């Protein structure tokens, strides 16, 4: 099937239909500018219809035996496996993702679906003792009801399903709004997979729209009890504020400015490989990407020579070419913004070790070093193929540099001594950090999330159960209570 012709619609209450807004979101191939689809935006009224449909369907779904619920996810997994080539081609066309990126995203997606099968069986009740004679305290773990999900453009299939599938598995309904630059991969493709897997109508709704059309309707609507948002810290702050003002939970996975630290006893060849992948996977458009590579001065010269040489060998070009390692950025606005930030850093004193051209959405890798201590790019997320090489003297300075950022999502430490690496890792203010590995990792049973401006809350495993369920206390008095009046 042609996903771009058949799925360029809204999916509300089990029906595929056009939006009723007055304008269209145009889905563009970021590499060649080809128009892939045109989707008329959903309105505030259609957001309401989606939430009401999820609310109606959820009550019956929550009563379904969890062993029966998990069959939907088994079927969804088989569908994705059967359609892997078509989905790969869609990721390449809509996102500018390379074959490597598509394979990586699909592997994560399939692992998440396998975990969702288990999540359906995960919620457990408890019986707690009471100080009152004859009283029984029961704690029931229940679905929150309906979850609103807002997903980004960089890994939209995985980062949509990361919230959608567990929320459904735990007995909730869902309304998903994908990013405007990834409406198919991040939205309606997922709806099609679950529809074909036999998910009851109305449980999953996808609204393709924009804040210019609906404002904060997706956040303020009275039905959803939890909002799961993945995106920038700027938008995340707004989501958190609106959610809190309406007494909703917000699970926020936001940006990062990860540091990969190379200590003086590291395996340099291995550290180079880890650093290059950690920075340039999907053109650097990864929240966990290593924006900064911190290297002990004792090994700086050798590391730099090998690091720059490997980056210079990366192939930039058409993502449909299986040998391409760096494809286009998501749009020209992003490419222009990253290029401008590089220009500003160089003008302020940064030294260029490697730099090519930016042509349209294609940007050659950039390596900068000797940045002034107050350089803004050292503390912000760079969503593009730019890496900052920062020398340090000793572990204390490495830790101080790594922590000198408002973000704290991921990181890595390379050392010939595992325990030394762990000791340094413990000092880094980040939600996740990896010893002798890259910065880009996500495993379905390990809590995923950040500190500081990188987010609030965690997903995966038991953290997901906490995010998408609530606890209800029911006490039972056996015999008669005594009341003071």
- Residues with a catalytic annotation lie at 253, 287
The Cα 391–Cα 387 span in angstroms is: 13
Cα–Cα separations (whole angstroms), residue 444 to 112, 204, 373, 482? 6, 21, 37, 49
In contact, 468 and 459? CB cutoff 8 Å: no
The H-or-E segment that residue 397 falls in is: helix 394-403
In 150-267, which ranges are continuous DSSP H helix? 156-169, 189-196, 211-214, 217-220, 233-245
The DSSP secondary-structure symbol of 179 reads -
Query: Can you tell me the distance from the alpha carbon of 411 to that of 171, in angstroms, rounded to the nearest whole number?
Result: 34
Beta bridge partners of 282: none
Q: In angstroms, how far is the first alpha carbon of the chain from the final one?
A: 72
The Cα–Cα gap between 147 and 129 comes to 32
Closest to 179 (Cα-Cα) out of 205, 201, 209:
209
CB 8 within 8 A of CB 37: yes
Q: Given strand 249-253, what is the order of strands in its sheet?
A: 15-17, 10-12, 204-206, 173-177, 146-150, 226-230, 249-253, 455-456
Question: Which residues lie closer than 8 Å to 271 by C-beta, 6 or more apart?
Answer: 260, 262, 303, 414
């Amino acid at each position: 099937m042609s996903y771009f012709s058949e799925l360029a619609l809204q999916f509300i209450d089990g029906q595929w239909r056009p939006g009723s807004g007055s304008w269209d979101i145009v889905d563009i191939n970021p590499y060649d500018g080809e128009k892939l689809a045109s989707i008329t935006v959903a309105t505030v009224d259609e957001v309401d219809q989606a939430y009401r449909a999820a609310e109606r369907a959820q009550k019956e779904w929550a009563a379904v035996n969890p062993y029966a619920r998990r069959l939907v996810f088994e079927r969804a997994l088989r569908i994705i496996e059967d359609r892997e080539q078509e989905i790969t081609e869609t990721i390449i066309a809509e996102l500018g993702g390379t074959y490597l990126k598509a394979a990586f995203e699909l592997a994560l997606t399939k692992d998440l679906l396998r975990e969702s099968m288990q999540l359906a069986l995960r919620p457990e009740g408890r019986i707690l003792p009471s100080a009152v004679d004859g009283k029984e305290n029961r704690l029931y773990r229940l679905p929150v009801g309906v979850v609103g999900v807002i997903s980004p453009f960089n890994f939209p299939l995985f980062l949509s399903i990361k919230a959608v599938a567990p929320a459904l598995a735990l007995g909730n309904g869902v309304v998903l709004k994908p990013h405007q630059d990834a409406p198919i991969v991040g939205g309606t493709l997922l709806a099609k997979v679950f529809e074909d897997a036999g998910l009851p109508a109305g449980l999953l709704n996808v609204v393709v729209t924009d804040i210019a059309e609906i404002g904060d309707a997706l956040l303020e609507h009275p039905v959803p009890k939890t909002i799961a948002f993945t995106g920038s810290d700027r938008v995340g702050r707004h989501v958190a504020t609106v959610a809190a003002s309406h007494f909703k939970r917000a699970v926020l996975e936001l940006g990062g400015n990860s540091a990969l630290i190379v200590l003086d006893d590291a395996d340099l060849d291995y550290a180079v490989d880890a650093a290059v992948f950690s920075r340039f996977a999907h053109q650097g458009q990864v929240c966990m990407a290593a924006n900064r590579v911190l290297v002990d001065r004792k090994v700086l010269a050798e590391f730099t020579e090998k690091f720059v040489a490997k980056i210079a060998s990366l192939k930039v070009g058409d993502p449909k070419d299986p040998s391409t390692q760096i494809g286009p950025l998501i749009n020209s606005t992003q490419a222009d913004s990253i290029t401008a930030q590089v220009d500003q850093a160089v003008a302020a004193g940064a030294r260029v070790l490697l730099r090519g051209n930016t042509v349209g959405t294609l940007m050659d890798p950039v390596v900068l070093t000797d940045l002034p201590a107050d350089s803004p790019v050292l503390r912000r997320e760079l969503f593009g193929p730019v890496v900052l090489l920062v020398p340090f003297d000793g572990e204390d300075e490495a830790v101080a540099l790594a922590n000198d950022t408002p973000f704290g999502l991921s990181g890595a430490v390379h050392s010939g001594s595992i325990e030394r690496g762990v000791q340094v890792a413990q000092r880094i203010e980040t939600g996740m950090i990896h010893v002798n590995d890259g910065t880009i990792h996500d495993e379905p049973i390990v809590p995923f999330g950040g500190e500081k401006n990188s987010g609030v809350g965690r997903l995966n495993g038991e953290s997901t159960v906490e995010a998408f369920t609530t606890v209800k206390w029911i006490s039972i008095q056996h015999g008669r209570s005594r009341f003071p009046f």
